[in-house]
Each structure stands twice: as C-alpha cells, then as structure tokens.
C-alpha cells in the first residue's frame, strides 16, 4: 500500500507519515511516561527507534529499486535468521543453508543485478531481526505498551523535521497522504502491538519461525 504513494512522495515521505501516524495513535491511547525509566529500559527503546527507521526506509528504498516481491522475500531472512540462531538443531541449520541457496538463486547475482537494491533489502532484514530481539527485551523490561509507545513517540519526533523538509520539495497529494496514513495504521500500529504481546509469551526462535512461514 505504501509503495503506491512512492511516485508522489517517495519512500522517505511514506516512512515519515507512517511513523507520525503511529505516534498520534499510540500517545493518547497508551499515554507513555518518559520519567522514571531506568537506563536498561531506555537503551532497548532507543535501539528500537533506530531499528524502526532503518527497517522501514531501507525496505521501501529496496522496493523502489528491485520490486516488492524480491525486496520482501529478502527481508524475511531477518526473522528466519533469528529463528535459526536461537536454535541448535541440525535440521534448522540445514534449512538455513537451503534458504541461503534459494536467495542466491532468486537474486541471480550478475552484471545486471541491482546490488544497491539487494543490499538495502538485506539491511531491512537485519533491522527486522534486531526489531524482534529488541521487542522481546522491551516486553520483559517495560510494562504494557509503554515501550512501544515511547519508541514510536521518539521516532515520530525525529522524523517530523525530516517530513517538513521533505514535503517542501515533494508536494503531497491527498491520495498519496491517504495511502501513507493507511500504511501507518495497518503496517505500524497493528503489528507493533501484536508483536509486543506475542514476544512476551513466545521465545524469539518460535516467533521468527512463524513470521518466516507467514511470509
């Protein structure tokens, strides 16, 4: 859905709107408290701020260069890696090797391969893997949805000046903004909340496996 707005506002514009919309929903709903948190609570939250930005922007930039199907396929290597790294079974390792071979065949590296696009997709995959690990840590250290709301708030604050500067040179249309807002509602709010609750209850390798299978 967000990709449909790329011709008008680009990946940067979609990511900016997506982050701001997520914060506008979570702030009044959760009412995050910035005071009283310990250092060991703030560190994963700030880490999640960086990861959210890198994950979304690198994926969207990759989609613009190599297409939705390949970019998303490569991104799912993130949760797959988390699942494999958290397990020591030989079968899991064998599956990881087969997945790696499949990626090589899928990307068909050669003189015409968009190396930058593939690299951006793999960066998004790395960020997604870190997102899972950080969400697990935040869920264990911060009650409720406080961690998610705090990370979304800080991310939105960081992206607001970027959005202002970007939209002065990339005039948005109502349709493009509507698509970006819908992306924020469906691709940020719902998964952020669901992932947080899920990672409180299941190990990271199970979560990573289910996420990879769902993809």
| 21-33 residue pLDDT tens | 999 999 999 999 8
Q: Alpha helix (H) ranges present in 67-201?
A: 68-75, 77-85, 90-107, 115-141, 146-169, 174-184, 190-201
Expressed in angstroms, the distance from the first to the final Cα of the chain is 16
Q: How far apart, in whole angstroms, are the C-alpha atoms of residue 8 and residue 12? A: 11
Per-residue pLDDT band for 50 (boundaries 50, 70, 90) equals: very high
Residue 174: band (very low, low, confident or very high) from pLDDT cuts 50, 70, 90: very high
Confidence (pLDDT) at 25: 92
What's the pLDDT score for residue 101? Answer: 66
135: confidence class by pLDDT, cuts 50, 70, 90: very high
CA dist list (Å): 39 to 32, 97, 190: 16, 38, 27
User: CB count, 10 Å around CB of 197?
Assistant: 14
Distance CA 47, CA 147 (A): 11
**16, 74, 110, 147 from 115: Cα distances, Å:** 25, 13, 9, 35
DSSP 110: S
Amino acid 120: pLDDT: 95
Distance separating alpha carbons of residues 192 and 22, to the nearest angstrom: 9
Residue 214: band (very low, low, confident or very high) from pLDDT cuts 50, 70, 90: low
Q: Which residues contact 41 (CB under 8 A, 6 or more apart)?
A: 138, 141, 142, 147
Q: Percentage of the chain with pLDDT > 90?
A: 49
Average pLDDT rounded to a whole number, residues 160-170: 94
The tokens for 133 are 């690990």
Least confident of 40-54, 98-112, 125-139, 170-184: 98-112
**What's the pLDDT at 42?**
95
Q: How confident is the model at residue 147 (pLDDT cuts 50, 70, 90)?
A: very high
């Amino acid at each position: 859905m967000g990709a449909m707005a790329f011709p008008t506002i680009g990946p940067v514009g979609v990511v900016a709107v997506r982050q701001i919309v997520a914060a506008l929903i979570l702030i009044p709903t959760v009412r995050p408290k910035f005071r009283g948190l310990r250092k060991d609570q703030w560190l994963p939250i700030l880490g999640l701020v960086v990861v959210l930005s890198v994950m979304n922007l690198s994926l969207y930039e990759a989609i613009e260069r190599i297409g939705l199907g390949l970019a998303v396929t490569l991104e799912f290597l993130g949760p797959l890696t988390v699942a494999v790294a958290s397990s020591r079974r030989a079968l899991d390792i064998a599956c990881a090797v087969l997945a790696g071979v499949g990626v090589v065949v899928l990307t068909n590296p050669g003189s015409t391969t968009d190396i930058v696009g593939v690299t951006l997709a793999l960066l998004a995959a790395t960020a997604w893997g870190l997102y899972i690990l950080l969400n697990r840590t935040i869920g264990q250290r911060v009650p409720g949805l406080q961690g998610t709301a705090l990370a979304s708030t800080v991310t939105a604050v960081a992206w607001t000046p970027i959005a202002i500067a970007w939209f002065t040179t990339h005039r948005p249309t109502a349709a493009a903004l509507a698509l970006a807002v819908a992306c924020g509602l469906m691709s940020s709010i719902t998964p952020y909340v669901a992932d947080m609750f899920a990672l409180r209850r299941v190990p990271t390798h199970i979560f990573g496996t289910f996420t990879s299978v769902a993809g």
